[in-house]
Structure 1
Amino acid sequence: MLGLVSGRPPAPRAVHARTSRQQRIVDHVLAAGSASAAELVDLTGVSLMTVHRDVDDLARRGLVRKYRGGVSAQPTSVFEAHSEYRRTVHRAEKARIADAALALVEPGSSIMVDDSTTALALVERLEDVGPLTVVTNYLPALEILKALPEVRLIALGGDYSRTHDSFGGIAAMESVTRMSVDAAFVSTSSMTGSMTYHQEQDIVLVKRAMLDAAARSVLLMDSSKIRRRALHQLRPLDAFDALVVDDGVSEELVVEMREHVEVTVAAR
């Protein structure tokens, strides 16, 4: 505090303490899904005012979402969850979907994967499929793929989003439109029996460009996203060539989906 009053920058020890405290807040919220301000005071041992300042800082950086009385990592109809939170939830379902989708990846082909954590589960299984050409804008996918000798990796650049841990914007879209791949593997925030949705318009535009650049499009959706809506329509279900879901989707809804697209149910 004296450093701020005197015009000098905060001492390194103070910066380290704030960084460590904010990381504790983020880790707690990602694990719990949400937390009240009072809960964060107990967690960190600092004042309510300091907690609010920390949360404001984290919300500006896209790591959490602030609401009246607390903070959340969970998605809403207009806000997508942070990438780190999405990587921690429904992992078993995503793993089963990725196992089933792996059969749709042909050695020697070119594929595009989006910045979804379900597609990331597929990326984690590509080591023995090569040779492959893989195009992606998702930083965690790039980190995995760069180590695979049988993969020719093409990274899509653009504006970096900390919330999504991926690259988007006009530069990413223009890069996608210059390409033509054999298949695109994508996921999105929510769907009904006939339509897919996402909360953010910029993400929708990049996903649409990916689907347009692919000869075949495969939608990967875990059952937590079913019967939900988000702000923007992505594509009708019949615009996809294949859909892979886990067995948490009701049989009735699977029948409805099969009126629009080829459906694979990834069983336990």
Structure 2
Amino acid sequence: MMNDNPGLKKPRITRQRRIIEHVVGAGFSSAADLATLTNVSLMTIHRDIDDLATRGILRKVHGGVSALPSTVFEASSEIRMQIQPQAKTALARKALEMVEPGMSVMLDDSTTVFALARLLNDVGPLTVITNYRQAIELFRENDDIRLIVTGGQYSRTHDSFIGLPNDGSFSSYAVDVVFQSTSTMGSEMTYHQEQDVVHMKRAMLKAGTRRVLMMDGSKAGRTSLHHYVPVSDFTDLILTDDVSSEFREAVSEHTTLHIAPLHSTHSQTG
């Protein structure tokens, strides 16, 4: 029998973490299934769902709750941290080969690029410019990192600072390399679900002498609601080696292609 007695149920934060992990694994879950999973009432589950949706972690849909990105909505930063960890580590290790001490580096708010950020702490000295809160927390106590924070209004869904479409906060920068990832890509065009993020990424991209796109195989050959930029706008593209040879050949006509081997990745990074 379900019981909402605080003395008997799991703490709320533990329960919500279990809800998140379940929905991430399944992609979708009904409120009834979550109530059974956590052994609490439907009323409690609906409060949890409302809270997680308000925080941008999960998305309420007809009949339940979803963690899946769609062509219109991107998954939250917290959810994306748990997706494709091995691929992100492989991409980060290949991207690290492009960074040398003394460089200026710009990082977007993607969790793929955050895997690289974790490795940069050992590279210094570097100048790092970012709008991603978790990267800011990562670097803020590193004396070898000159940290510059930019962006605009804080987005809870993305856990980052996103400026207005006409935001000129990046126009004064000329950095050695910009690292980005995005939602999906074809052989000639890249895409993202949200227009404000598209504007932010475009502004960041213009600041880089070298412009590097990091993409795992699950993002290749797909589209999202908004065009981002042509693949040719990136000087370099890093793909995991699970992408088909046909796709590799097609994109290599538009940019310099680098392959990140999944099999050599021994540890996982979110």
What's the TM-score once normalised by structure 1's chain length?
Answer: 0.88
Deviations 1:146-172 (A, max 9, x none): 232211011114211111111112299
Of 206, 214, 230 in structure 1, the residue corresponding to residue 200 of structure 2 is 206
Taking the TM superposition and a 5 Å limit, the aligned residue runs for 1:102-181 are 102-170=96-164, 173-181=167-175
8 Å CA contact retained: 1:158, 1:172: no
Separation in structure 1 between the aligned mates of residue 44 and residue 243 of structure 2, nearest angstrom: 43
Mark the CA change 1:88 to 1:18 in structure 2 (over 3 Å): closer, same or farther: closer
SS of alignment partner, residue 56 of structure 1: helix
CA shift, 1:127, in A, is 2.5
Match of 1:249 in 2: 243
CA shift, 1:137, in A, is 0.6
Match of 1:216 in 2: 210
Match of 1:8 in 2: none
Of 227, 230, 234 in structure 2, the residue corresponding to residue 236 of structure 1 is 230
Deviations 1:45-97 (A, max 9, x none): 33334423432332222111111112111100000001111111111111111
User: What are structure 2's unaligned runs of at least 5 residues?
Assistant: 1-5, 264-270
Of 86, 90, 93 in structure 1, the residue corresponding to residue 87 of structure 2 is 93
CA shift, 1:32, in A, is 4.1
Letter in 1 for 2:97: A
CA shift, 1:174, in A, is 2.8
Separation in structure 1 between the aligned mates of residue 17 and residue 96 of structure 2, nearest angstrom: 35
Q: Say whether 1:263 aligns with 2:257.
A: yes
8 Å CA contact retained: 2:57, 2:79: no
Percent of pairs with identical residues: 52
Separation in structure 2 between the aligned mates of residue 223 and residue 27 of structure 1, nearest angstrom: 22
The structure where helix makes up a greater share of residues is 1
Match of 2:32 in 1: 38
Specify which structure has the bigger relative contact order, considering alpha-carbon pairs within 8 angstroms and separated by 6 or more residues. Answer: 2
Q: Which moved more, 1:23-32 or 1:74-83?
A: 23-32
SS of alignment partner, residue 112 of structure 1: strand
Separation in structure 2 between the aligned mates of residue 264 and residue 166 of structure 1, nearest angstrom: 28
Separation in structure 1 between the aligned mates of residue 208 and residue 136 of structure 2, nearest angstrom: 19
Q: Say whether 1:183 aligns with 2:177.
A: yes
Taking the TM superposition and a 5 Å limit, the aligned residue runs for 1:24-35 are 24-35=18-29
What's the TM-score once normalised by structure 2's chain length?
Answer: 0.87
Separation in structure 1 between the aligned mates of residue 137 and residue 57 of structure 2, nearest angstrom: 20
Mark the CA change 1:246 to 1:154 in structure 2 (over 3 Å): closer, same or farther: same
Match of 1:47 in 2: 41
Separation in structure 2 between the aligned mates of residue 173 and residue 182 of structure 1, nearest angstrom: 21
Match of 2:77 in 1: 83
Separation in structure 1 between the aligned mates of residue 204 and residue 105 of structure 2, nearest angstrom: 10
Separation in structure 2 between the aligned mates of residue 50 and residue 103 of structure 1, nearest angstrom: 49
Aligned-pair RMSD on alpha carbons? 2.2
